[in-house]
Amino acid sequence: MGSNLATPVTPAVLPPASLLHSKKMANEQEQKQPAPPLSAWVPAVALGWLIPGGGHLLLRRTGRGLLLLVTITAMFLCGLMMRGTMFQPQSGDLLTTLINTGGFIGDLCSGILYLLASWLGYNQPDMAGAVHDYGTKFLVTAGLLNLLAIVDAYEIAAGRKE
């Protein structure tokens, strides 16, 4: 009886210590993943900003790149045709600064679409009306969706995603 008590009791459901150790090592390796070199991801990110889906096209993800290009461009054009307003950064109270600066960054994320619209003189004043308001939201959302596409292109270029 005494010898039985001295034996350590290990429940069958617990994983062996070596498995726990290897999982811990894998987590540490994942956390300490080195930053990818600039040359690997900067061209994809820059082209992805300038042309929606361009990063994916550069990385030879043609189908996804074209789908992103068509979708984001269509959304931006819908926003323009609904006569949405482009945000300009404004200072003032906190809410005004946040909305206008955030909206401006969102618009800017559309890349060449935003630049072309600005250079070609698109300057819609902020008017009352539901359709104009939808247009403004479409313009900002097109930029934000392009931002998601840029992050995806970065992850592919950095080897973190296929």
Does position 81 interact with other proteins (CB under 8 A)? The reply is yes
Q: Count CA atoms closer than 13 A to 20's CA, side-chain side.
A: 5
Does position 151 interact with other proteins (CB under 8 A)? The reply is yes
Does position 114 interact with other proteins (CB under 8 A)? The reply is no
Query: Is 158:40 a contact under the CB 8 Å cutoff?
Result: yes
Closest CB 42 distance from other proteins, rounded Å: 19
CA distance 102 to 46: 20
Question: What x-and-dash track marks residues 48-67 binding other proteins by CB under 8 A?
Answer: ----------------x--x
Indicate the angle between helix axes 130-157 and 38-50, nearest 10 degrees.
Answer: 160
> What are residue 31's phi and psi, to 5 degrees?
-70, -35
Q: Enumerate binding residues for other proteins (CB under 8 A).
A: 64, 67-68, 71-72, 74-75, 78, 80-83, 130-131, 134, 137-138, 141-142, 145, 148-149, 151-152, 161-162
